[in-house]
Amino acid sequence: MSEVCPSHDLTPLLTEREGAAEKRTRLRAVRAQERPRRLLLCLDGVPFEVVREAKSRGMFDNFNEPARLLSPFPTLTNVALAEMLGATPPQGYESLYFDREARELRGGVRKYIGRRTPDKVPSSYMDELDYQEPLAFEFLIYVATDAVWRADMRRFRERFLSAPPSRDFFGFLKATDGLLHIGGPARLAVALQSLDRLLREIQKEAGSETEIVLFSDHGMNLEENRRVNLQTHLARNGYEVVGDMRRPRGKRRVSAPAFGLCGYAALYCGEETDRAELAEALRGLEGVDFSVYREEGEGAAVVAGASGRARVVREQRGGEGFYAYEQLDGDPLALAGTALALGTAGRLDGRGFARDDAWLARTFAHTYPDALANVYNSVYAPRVRHTADVLVSLRDGYYYGANAFSRMVRLLATHGNALRASSTAFLMSTHRSFPTHVRSADARPVLRG
């Protein structure tokens, strides 16, 4: 097939760089299954709206309607797939992260490129993958976008057709993320047409009883983005941005790992740095939508942004979760109307709490999908091993990341924030119809069950 043949021959480089994790998956024992075979294919960074629009133009018409797959904040691959597959949390949000035990930045570019060795595997979900791109693709996608995409599809097709037909196959195509970052939705649309043809051929060869489940890990805002001046702003407000916290106390210290060009920031505070003051200092920075941090001793998450401040409070009652949205001043998560509607419907108790599923039913397509549970769990749930003290969600159109990377590319789309475009991935099947929305934490039974 011409559409899946690379315009540049990357095979020698990629073969040399195949890693231990990929080899382990090829050596796994074949396990008998009681149901028909299933092909799981994750497309990195493809938004729900893009797939829904593609289906309206006749693509993927052998699939049922897509469901919204709600990605956790920060909306990043390793965070999302670890939660979707019930796997071990990654060390940090990206390859460069702050290690709380070592009190310093760890990882970086050397973790991102080169050979995929065990110490580069961010989460146990990778042990489930039968195909993932060679690690070199993660960099090459930004310099040889079309060639890498074609090579990725060809290698995936070959790997699937050569795999034992008696068990499921799980593939991950990361090149779609690079296509959107660099080429925008127009470039991705062409790639999706090729993928549609490829999947039809695969199902023809594998048999109509083989179910194909197509999904993504997170969405993407589809607009040109510019860098937010986070570190400069912190310095102007009396903070020292540092790479380690091993020195004695001094000036208010903050570590702000800068790696991929994404719509969030993770901030780690020194012992002398107050989280509330830090979040307050960020309210005036252009590009910041809101910051969230744990309110120690209160079991609440405090959200502070240009639109005001609020507390998200969670209670556990008889095995069920309840949430309250307490507006301190303003409405940073735009939930005042939702709370009013829940109250009118008799779903709020006298203290302003409603069941988790009641909030979800009214916010799965909200400006901030599944806002209360998602934002609360971003600082309370173990989504990464080293949770930030303050998480920052940027507005669509802004990113934070490494200066070196920002000079290399013109960023036509990105992800990472808690807004709808980035938080809404998709999920669809050739054989099953799914609910209108599925939380990432509830995805594993759907994918693997």
pLDDT tens, 294-314?
998 878 999 999 999 999 999
Which is higher by pLDDT, 148 or 269?
A: 269
H helix or E strand, kind and range, residue 300: strand 300-305
Asked whether residue 108 carries a pLDDT value surpassing 80, the answer given is no
Mean pLDDT score across all residues of the chain: 89
pLDDT score for 66: 98
pLDDT score for 111: 56
Residues 6+ apart with CB under 8 A from 355: 320, 321, 322, 347
| Residue that has been written with the tokens 């890498």 in this structure | 148
Judge if the upstream peptide bond of residue 164 is cis by omega within 30 degrees of 0: no
- Read off the DSSP letter of residue 123: S
H helix or E strand, kind and range, residue 40: strand 38-43
| Residue that has been written with the tokens 């509607």 in this structure | 341
Asked whether residue 13 carries a pLDDT value surpassing 90, the answer given is no
Q: Cβ distance 73 to 442 under 8 Å?
A: no
**Mode of pairing for the β-strands spanning 211-216 and 38-43:** parallel
Asked whether residue 334 carries a pLDDT value surpassing 80, the answer given is yes
Asked whether residue 23 carries a pLDDT value surpassing 60, the answer given is no
Q: Cβ distance 195 to 59 under 8 Å?
A: no
pLDDT score for 29: 40
Residues 6+ apart with CB under 8 A from 3: 150, 153, 194, 197, 198
Tokens in use for 150?
């074609």
pLDDT band at residue 211 using 50, 70 and 90 as cut-offs? very high
Q: Cβ distance 170 to 129 under 8 Å?
A: yes
Q: Cβ distance 290 to 282 under 8 Å?
A: no
pLDDT score for 246: 87
Q: Cβ distance 220 to 415 under 8 Å?
A: yes
pLDDT band at residue 113 using 50, 70 and 90 as cut-offs? low
pLDDT in tens, 24-78: 444 444 345 578 999 999 999 999 999 999 999 999 999 999 999 999 999 999 9
Distances (CA, A) of 408 to 97, 143, 181, 232, 261: 22, 9, 12, 21, 11
The neighbouring-strand residues paired with 265 are: 392
- Percentage of the chain surpassing pLDDT 70? 88
Q: Cβ distance 432 to 64 under 8 Å?
A: yes
Q: Cβ distance 33 to 167 under 8 Å?
A: yes
C-alpha 12/C-alpha 194 separation (Å) is: 24
pLDDT score for 145: 77
SS3 at position 99: strand
Q: Cβ distance 221 to 423 under 8 Å?
A: no
Tokens in use for 113?
């490129």
The neighbouring-strand residues paired with 353 are: 324
**Cα 4 to chain centroid, rounded:** 26
pLDDT in tens, 374-432: 999 999 999 999 999 999 999 999 999 988 777 777 899 999 999 999 999 999 999 99
Domains in the chain, ordered, with CATH?
2-88+123-223+418-448 (3.40.720.10), 226-406 (no CATH)
Residues 6+ apart with CB under 8 A from 58: none
**Mode of pairing for the β-strands spanning 211-216 and 353-355:** unpaired
